[in-house]
Amino acid sequence: MSTNAPPTALKPHVDGRPPHLPCGPGDVAQDVLIPGDPDRVGLLTDMLEDVVDLGRRREFAMVSGRYKGHPITICSSGIGGPSTEIALVELAMLGAKRVVRIGGTASLVAAMPVGSFLCVDEAIGSSGAARFYCAPDAKTRADPELRTALLEAAQAAGFTARVGTVATSDSYYLGQDRPIEVNGVAMPLDGSVLEGFRKAGAHSVDMESQVVLSVGKRLGLKAACLLGVHANRATNEWLTDYEATQRGLFTIASQALIASFSESSNEKETEHVRQT
């Protein structure tokens, strides 16, 4: 019989289960991969062993399992800042310690072709959700250990990857300079939004990374973002078949989590020996 307090509008949890994610206490590994699209959770499930399907609620699909013996949870965030904030907060409440966004991005430079990868160093932009977790002028950076581990894992696996900056926009259309023509209304754009991102140092644009890094930092999570280039706005290329890129994201991120976990464990053991 539960001794937990009944749910309230302020805290609508039931027996430790959050109101949005389809899981409860004990379901979430300390290491979590966060794609955007819930269908990508199903796409990646066969890369895990000992899989437990936690189900789906709204845009949040979840599984937990093991990769090379290492416990990993995959949880989709949905599109954009608000649902990503919900996922991060509720995952942290359930015991997540390290999170890596594995999602798509549109490159802003010709030198980042479709199918390549970006290990995010910093996220800039104008996400409304992120503003509740960091000051407007704050640097929103990835955890340096995870960022380095991601790049090393990508290089070791033979993938084309670079470290760089992503701009996060809450808007997919006007906020990313995509023209709209509907119901007799035409909204041609001059490219000033993306050019502004380029001038600010961004190599690509997405809709979630600034939220992952700002919320993660505020909650004390180690957070990083590994992005697959699904489009290139400089060359107007579009990646039609992205399954290989998605599987590459999983492989790189999982290997990075294992490597950085092992390194952290070794450091803790060394420190324990020094103290004794």
- In order of start, what are the domains of the chain with their CATH numbers? 31-254 (3.40.50.1580)
Q: Are 4 and 58 in contact (CB under 8 A)?
A: no
Look up residue 213 and give its two tokens.
Answer: 């890094």
Look up residue 101 and give its two tokens.
Answer: 């966004």
Helix (H) or strand (E) holding 254: helix 243-275
Q: Compute φ and ψ for 23, nearest 5 degrees.
A: -160, 175
Pairing of strands 117-125, 98-107: unpaired
Task: Count CB atoms within 10 A of the CB of residue 25.
Answer: 11
* Res 21 pLDDT > 50: yes
Mean of the pLDDT values across residues 156-167? Answer: 97
Q: Are 203 and 191 in contact (CB under 8 A)?
A: no
Cα–Cα dist 77/104, whole Å: 12
Look up residue 206 and give its two tokens.
Answer: 């997405």
More confident residue, 138 or 37: 37
Task: Count CB atoms within 10 A of the CB of residue 73.
Answer: 26
pLDDT of residue 270: 42
Cα–Cα dist 80/206, whole Å: 9
Per-residue pLDDT tens for 211-245?
Answer: 999 999 999 999 999 999 999 999 999 999 999 99
Cα–Cα dist 45/61, whole Å: 11
Cα–Cα dist 112/73, whole Å: 29
* Res 196 pLDDT > 80: yes
Cα–Cα dist 248/245, whole Å: 5
Per-residue pLDDT tens for 114-160?
Answer: 999 999 999 999 899 999 999 877 789 999 999 999 999 999 999 99
Strand partners, 57: 60
- Name the residue type at position 262: S
DSSP E strands: which ranges in the chain? 31-34, 49-57, 60-67, 70-75, 98-107, 117-125, 161-168, 180-182, 185-187, 204-206, 222-232, 237-238
pLDDT of residue 187: 85
Q: Which residues contact 158 (CB under 8 A, 6 or more apart)?
A: none
